Structure 1
Amino acid sequence: MQWKIYIEQFKNYLKLERGFSENSIEAYLRDVSKFQEFALRNDWQNPEKVNTNQIQTFILHLNELGIAEASQARILSGIKAFYKFLFAEEVISTDPAYLIEAPKLKRKLPDTLEYHEIEALLEAIDHSTPEGTRNRAMLEVLYSCGLRVSELVELKISNLYFDIEFIKVVGKGNKERFVPIGTEAMKYTKIYLEHIRKHSNIAKGHENFVFLNRRGKKLTRVYVFMIIKELAQKIGLKKNISPHTFRHSCATHLLEGGADLRTIQEILGHESITTTEIYTHLDKDYLRQTILQYHPRS
């Protein structure tokens, strides 16, 4: 019973005090619940009495199960947040998770698409259907603005500022940012809004969402994923891509075009510049060309 009470309090803290999104809250609770299940199986009935060795035993258990290091690190992050909350609330006098280090991660470079592959995917869309017109606008915005898929499906008409060529995006933790939108993305979005969406039967409560399904409701993240998978299959693309691939590609192409990391950080809504630095994975040919073109001794 103690676990249930504290996890519910933790959930309220994440929602009300930290302002986390529903998706983030679910992820944290999922991670803590995994530890709760393990604790109860080992008869650790009270979360207040859990010690550092017990948490380390759980992480070792995850490792023995073959859980990836990145997943282990994420689960530990959730446990750390939970015990940090209990410590802040003075439920416990010492934080048992504080000194536990996450597994050392090998930085995995995100998959990206070449510009010609982006073009091929966009050109493969059937513009003769209402869904095709919507999909073209949607993917143009996804690539142009480097959005997360959750930011795309939550995009509001009231947050489109086409007169100044910007959109307002609500990102992680309900943080707002203004992002420039490209000419092509604006063009196709206007076509969709004026010729397709305007004539749709919109469901109550969904009037302000930009991208809608056939039932007049906002799209789901899974639906966007499926659209991209089908287009990749249609053009015979062998890469394993997702909506996030468009975001990675946007960042990479900006960097290759000369944008600095600070600018890319602002556009993507990264809290830390270290997150953005992953996009410095430019290929050797590009690096060589840059040296030859700009270095005074080349």
Structure 2
Amino acid sequence: MINKDETGKIIKQYQRYLKFEKSLSPNTLDAYLTDLDKLMSFLTLEGIAIKDITLDNLQQFVAGLHDIGIHARSQARIISGIKSFFNFLILTDYLEADPSELLEGPKIGFKLPEILTIEEIDAIISAIDLSKNEGQRNKAILETLYSCGLRVSELTNLKLSELYLDEGFIKVEGKGSKQRLVPISPKAINEIKLYILDRNQVTAKKDFEDYLFLSRRGTNLSRIMIFHMIKELATTAGIKKNISPHTFRHSFATHLLEGGANLRAIQSMLGHETIATTEIYTHIDRNMLRSEIIEHHPRNIKYRRNNAPENEQ
């Protein structure tokens, strides 16, 4: 027999545990409780008390999630929340044995992101028609994407006031409005400076004066525009891979890592939320970040070689 008052009391205790002991954010806390509510609804329908639940019951619950079309990743998240709940019940001595201990999640395939070789990136950039008005702009876009490892949204929102080209950095606003300084390579700086000469011929519309990359209409570019531009250039270059703007970001990180760059520096430059903590930004010197990208990025190695004095070549 289900005791609703007892169940409600347990869930309130669990909520306090997540909030104060686990220090979960409000959104994460809501997600845990929403997923737990799915299990509670199942138990109510089946007439099963929390103390009486078995592994078979939990497996039946998970099978039901699959049957109603819940995605495998969502199933895995729900199962993770269930395990957290039963772990709490063990910690508080409400249960002696954990029925979720042997509960397995769905198999989630891991697909490695598509990566471009340096030669393929060269081929795509070489496919740009520089005789067109947007040619130099598109070249600057691709060099910036690849040289800085930006998300496409970060690129389209890049402002002139956020360029510190003399210092070799750009300021980027990433997910959650978190800002970071990203080293920018001499090659990308050169292409941006060439593009700005063309940009000065475009009349920016009101509220778009500070955007770096402008459309013909004088507004900032959309992510879809960048996506289509890259797709068309890849087709022209004969690249068969299924690529997107994010492919340049993956390639940036892979090529730096293969070149021997510090992994923690790469993660910070990418602005990954899971590691972009205050502690990391405190302990990684910005000059070190810049030296990592300048020394190890293949674009910069080639640029240095091509622009070295004759007696050094």
> Could you say whether these structures have the same fold, taking a TM-score greater than 0.5 normalized by the shorter chain as the test?
yes
2:264 aligns to what? 262
Equivalent residue in structure 1 for 2:39, among 39, 45, 52: 52
Whole-Å separation in 2 of the counterparts to 1:271 and 1:251 = 15
Do structure 1's residue 163 and structure 2's residue 166 form an aligned pair?
A: yes
Secondary structure, aligned partner of 2:134: helix
Q: CA deviation at 1:106?
A: 3.3
Q: CA deviation at 1:142?
A: 0.3
Q: CA deviation at 1:260?
A: 1.7
- CA deviations on 1:158-196 (whole Å, 9 max, x unpaired) are 11000111001000111111111011111111111122x
1:10 aligns to what? none
Do structure 1's residue 150 and structure 2's residue 153 form an aligned pair?
A: yes
Whole-Å separation in 1 of the counterparts to 2:105 and 2:156 = 33
| Structure 2 counterpart of 1:234, one-letter code | T
2:196 aligns to what? 193
| Structure 2 counterpart of 1:52, one-letter code | L
Secondary structure, aligned partner of 2:200: helix
Whole-Å separation in 2 of the counterparts to 1:176 and 1:143 = 19
Secondary structure, aligned partner of 1:130: coil
The 1:223–1:70 alpha-carbon spacing in structure 2 relative to 1, beyond 3 Å, is farther
Secondary structure, aligned partner of 1:202: coil
Whole-Å separation in 1 of the counterparts to 2:63 and 2:134 = 48
- CA deviations on 1:65-100 (whole Å, 9 max, x unpaired) are 6665346668x69xx8xxxxxxxxxxxxxxxxxx99
Do structure 1's residue 173 and structure 2's residue 176 form an aligned pair?
A: yes
2:109 aligns to what? 106
Secondary structure, aligned partner of 1:169: strand
Do structure 1's residue 121 and structure 2's residue 121 form an aligned pair?
A: no
TM-score by length of 1: 0.62
| Structure 1 counterpart of 2:129, one-letter code | D
Size of the aligned set, in residue pairs, is: 212
2:94 aligns to what? none
Greater alpha carbon shift after TM alignment, 256-265 vs 64-73: 64-73
Contact 1:261 1:273 in 2 (8 A): no
Equivalent residue in structure 2 for 1:219, among 206, 218, 221: 221
Q: CA deviation at 1:273?
A: 4.9
1:295 aligns to what? none
The 1:149–1:103 alpha-carbon spacing in structure 2 relative to 1, beyond 3 Å, is farther
Equivalent residue in structure 2 for 1:204, among 192, 203, 206: 206
Question: Superposed, which structure 2 residues align to 1:91-102 within 5 Å?
Answer: none
Secondary structure, aligned partner of 1:168: strand
2:246 aligns to what? 244
Whole-Å separation in 2 of the counterparts to 1:140 and 1:178 = 17
Secondary structure, aligned partner of 1:144: helix
Equivalent residue in structure 2 for 1:235, among 234, 237, 246: 237
2:45 aligns to what? none
Whole-Å separation in 2 of the counterparts to 1:207 and 1:145 = 23
Contact 2:268 2:275 in 1 (8 A): no
Secondary structure, aligned partner of 1:199: coil
Q: CA deviation at 1:108?
A: 2.1
Contact 2:39 2:61 in 1 (8 A): no
Specify the structure having the higher radius of gyration (Cα).
2
Taking only the aligned residue pairs, the percentage that are identical comes to 52
The 1:152–1:62 alpha-carbon spacing in structure 2 relative to 1, beyond 3 Å, is farther
The 1:200–1:173 alpha-carbon spacing in structure 2 relative to 1, beyond 3 Å, is same
TM-score by length of 2: 0.59
Question: Superposed, which structure 2 residues align to 1:29-48 within 5 Å?
Answer: none
| Structure 1 counterpart of 2:148, one-letter code | C
RMSD, aligned CA: 3.5
Secondary structure, aligned partner of 2:238: coil
Q: CA deviation at 1:107?
A: 2.9
The 1:101–1:136 alpha-carbon spacing in structure 2 relative to 1, beyond 3 Å, is farther
Unpaired runs of at least 5, structure 1: 1-24, 33-46, 81-98, 275-298
1:21 aligns to what? none
Secondary structure, aligned partner of 2:189: helix
| Structure 2 counterpart of 1:249, one-letter code | S
2:143 aligns to what? 140
Whole-Å separation in 2 of the counterparts to 1:61 and 1:131 = 53
